[in-house]
Amino acid sequence: MKFDKNRDYCSEAEICKVLGHPVRLKIVAGLCSRECNVKYIWECLGLPQATVSQHLALLKNKGIIEGKREGVKVHYSVVNPLAIRIVEILSSSVEPDSPGHPNAS
């Protein structure tokens, strides 16, 4: 790779910044494999619903995920290809059962 003074990488840096939080990384990693509603996510992660909702709101605001309303539930999915790629890279570099893996419990 060569240095490019004309490329600023601002959007890429913002995605990395948002995914730099372990809870958000776990949420995105989980959503890469399936659509989920907030109740399923907070039950799986063992976190308060309000905490998960705050993280989902930030991920949605940054364009990493989107929510589709189905009745009273909103199902979330990852829509940002760079976020998906980052999770794939991180997941392949860490053993699935190790504490550093995004899907580790």
SS3 97: coil
30 sits in which H/E element: helix 22-33
Mean pLDDT in the chain? 91
Token pair 């605001």 is found at 61
The CATH code of domain 10-93 reads: 1.10.10.10
For residue 3, which phi and psi values (nearest 5 degrees)?
-80, 135
pLDDT per residue as tens digits for the range 45-76: 999 999 999 999 999 999 999 999 999 999 99
For the entire predicted model, the pTM comes to 0.83
Q: Which segments within the chain are labelled E, that is strand? A: 36-37, 65-70, 73-78
Q: Please report, for the chain, the start and end positions of each structural domain, with discontinuous segments joined by +.
A: 10-93
